[in-house]
C-alpha cells in the first residue's frame, strides 16, 4: 500500500512551545534589551499638551489601554470618546470633530487603521485636509499574534494617500517630542506608536524631532544605515558592534516617511562611497527602503544599496524576540547581514 505524504496546511492549529513561554513572550515589549524605559510616553505627552490646549481630544476604538490613551482618559475624561470596535465610526467622528475646530487624536492598532478604515480616512479626513491625528500601536512586527495584528504594510498603504503626513518615531524621547509637533501640524497625520514601557535612546544624543527632517545620530565612514522606528535603536547597537570589528557605521534616522527628507538622504548617500543600508520595521515592499531607493535614483546617486526589512509575505506568530531573529530585525541579524555585504 502506498502512503500519501500529507503537506501541512497553514490552517492547522499552531502548537505552543513546550517551554510554556509563548504567551508572555508574544506580548513582550521592546524593553527586554536592558535599556532605560519610559511608561506610556504617548499618553503622558498628550495629557500634558491638553492642559494648555483645550482643542485636544482623544478617541479610541476600544483599545485605549493598549494604545496608552487610557492615561489621557484618566486625566481628561470630558475630552475622551470611546467609540467601540468600529474603526470606520472612529475616524468619521474624528473628522466631524475636526470640522468643529477640535484637534482629535484617534487611536487604534495600525492594522485596523490602515486596512479596515482606509476609505474612511481617505474620504473623510485626507481629501478634506482635516487636522485629525491618527496614532496607531503595534506597527510592523511589534506583536507575535500573527497577520491579524502585524501591520507589516501600513507605511506602504498610508504613504500612498495624498495629503497625509506619515511618521515612524524611534523611542520614548521622540514620541514625547512628536506629540506637540503633530498637534501643531495643520493637516492629517498618521503616526506609528510604541506602547507600554518604551525604550529611551535618542535623549542621550541631544536629539530634537522635526516633522520632515532626517537627523544623523552617528557618523561613520564605511556604512550608512538609514533607519526609522525602533530599527534606529537596532542600527545604533549594530553600529557599535560593527565598530568593535573595525567597521565604521553612520546612522541616519528618518522619522518622517512622508514627506521624505530627500535633500538630507541624498547628501548623506553621496558621501565617500559608503554602502547604504535601509533598515525598517516594515515590508521591503512600499516602505522606507523603496522610498529612499527612488529618491537616490531620481537624484542620479547610485551607491551600493541594500535593504533590511520584513519579507513580502504574511508572517508567523510566536515569541517576538524569536520572530525578530527569524525575520532579520535583531541586532545580531543586522550585524551579520552588513558583514556579508561588505
Q: What pLDDT does 16 receive?
A: 43
The CA-CA-CA angle for residues 181, 231, 299, to 5°, reads: 75
Give which of 19, 85, 78 is closest to 47, Cα–Cα.
Answer: 78
Alpha-carbon dihedral sign for residues 227, 44, 55, 126: positive
Residue 210 CB coordination number (10 Å) = 13
The CATH number assigned to the domain with range 212-341 reads 3.40.50.920
Domain-wise residue ranges, the chain = 34-199, 212-341
Alpha-carbon dihedral sign for residues 141, 144, 146, 151: negative
Those residues with Cβ within 8 angstroms of residue 180's Cβ, 6 or more apart along the chain or in another chain: 45, 49
Q: Tell me which of 87, 153, 280, 290 is the catalytic residue.
A: 87
- In the three-class reduction of DSSP (H, G, I as helix; E, B as strand; rest coil), residue 304 is classed as coil
DSSP secondary structure letter of residue 309:
E
Fold: same for 34-199 and 212-341: yes
State pTM to two decimals: 0.92
Give which of 141, 83, 77 is closest to 107, Cα–Cα.
Answer: 83
Q: What pLDDT does 14 receive?
A: 43
Query: In the chain, which stretches have pLDDT less than 50?
Result: 1-26
pLDDT in tens, 240-274: 999 999 999 999 999 999 999 999 999 999 998 99
268 is catalytic: no
Q: What is the DSSP string of 185-203?
A: SSS-EEEE---SEEE--GG
Give which of 118, 57, 114, 121 is closest to 92, Cα–Cα.
Answer: 121
Helix-helix angle 41-50:172-184, to 10 degrees: 40
Residue 133 β-bridge partners: 105, 189
Those residues with Cβ within 8 angstroms of residue 303's Cβ, 6 or more apart along the chain or in another chain: 224, 269, 270, 273, 274, 275, 276, 296
The CA-CA-CA angle for residues 73, 78, 79, to 5°, reads: 65
Those residues with Cβ within 8 angstroms of residue 205's Cβ, 6 or more apart along the chain or in another chain: 217
Give which of 323, 319, 303, 321 is closest to 311, Cα–Cα.
Answer: 323
Containing 75, the helix (H) or strand (E) segment is helix 70-75
Q: What pLDDT does 18 receive?
A: 44
Q: What pLDDT does 272 receive?
A: 84
Cell of 22: 509563548
Give the separation between CA 228 and CA 305, rounded to whole angstroms: 16
- Fold classified for 34-199: Rossmann fold (3.40.50)
Alpha-carbon dihedral sign for residues 58, 84, 172, 328: negative
Q: What is the CA radius of gyration of the chain?
A: 20
Q: What pLDDT does 5 receive?
A: 37
Q: What pLDDT does 34 receive?
A: 75
Phi, psi of 283 (to 5 degrees): -55, 145
What residue has cell string 535599556? 35
Amino acid at each position: 500500500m502506498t502512503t500519501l505524504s500529507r503537506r501541512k496546511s497553514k490552517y492547522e492549529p499552531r502548537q505552543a512551545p513546550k517551554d510554556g513561554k509563548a504567551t508572555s513572550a508574544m506580548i513582550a515589549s521592546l524593553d527586554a534589551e536592558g535599556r532605560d524605559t519610559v511608561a506610556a510616553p504617548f499618553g503622558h505627552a498628550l495629557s500634558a499638551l491638553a492642559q494648555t490646549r483645550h482643542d485636544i481630544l482623544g478617541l479610541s476604538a476600544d483599545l485605549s489601554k493598549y494604545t496608552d490613551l487610557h492615561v489621557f482618559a484618566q486625566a481628561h475624561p470630558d475630552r475622551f470618546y470611546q467609540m467601540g470596535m468600529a474603526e470606520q465610526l472612529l475616524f468619521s467622528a474624528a473628522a466631524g470633530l475636526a470640522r468643529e475646530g477640535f484637534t482629535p487624536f484617534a487611536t487604534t492598532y495600525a492594522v485596523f487603521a490602515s486596512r479596515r478604515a482606509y476609505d474612511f480616512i481617505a474620504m473623510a479626513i485626507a481629501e478634506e485636509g482635516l487636522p485629525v491625528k491618527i496614532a496607531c500601536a503595534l506597527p510592523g512586527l511589534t506583536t507575535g499574534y500573527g497577520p491579524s495584528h502585524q501591520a507589516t504594510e501600513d507605511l506602504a498603504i498610508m504613504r500612498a494617500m495624498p495629503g497625509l503626513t506619515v511618521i515612524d518615531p524611534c523611542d520614548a524621547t521622540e514620541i514625547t517630542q512628536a506629540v506637540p509637533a503633530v498637534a501643531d501640524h495643520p493637516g492629517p497625520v498618521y503616526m506609528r506608536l510604541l506602547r507600554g514601557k518604551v525604550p529611551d535612546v535618542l535623549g542621550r544624543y541631544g536629539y530634537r524631532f522635526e516633522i520632515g527632517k532626517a537627523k544623523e545620530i552617528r557618523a561613520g565612514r564605511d556604512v550608512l544605515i538609514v533607519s526609522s522606528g525602533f530599527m534606529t535603536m537596532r542600527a545604533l547597537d549594530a553600529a557599535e558592534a560593527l565598530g568593535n570589528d573595525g567597521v565604521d557605521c553612520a546612522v541616519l534616522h528618518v522619522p518622517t516617511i512622508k514627506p521624505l527628507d530627500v535633500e538630507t538622504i541624498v547628501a548623506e548617500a553621496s558621501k565617500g562611497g559608503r554602502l547604504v543600508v535601509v533598515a525598517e520595521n516594515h515590508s521591503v515592499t512600499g516602505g522606507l527602503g523603496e522610498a529612499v531607493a527612488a529618491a537616490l535614483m531620481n537624484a542620479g546617486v547610485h551607491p551600493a544599496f541594500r535593504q533590511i526589512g520584513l519579507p513580502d509575505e504574511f508572517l508567523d506568530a510566536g515569541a517576538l524576540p524569536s520572530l525578530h531573529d527569524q525575520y532579520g530585525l535583531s541586532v545580531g541579524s543586522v550585524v551579520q547581514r552588513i558583514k556579508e555585504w561588505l
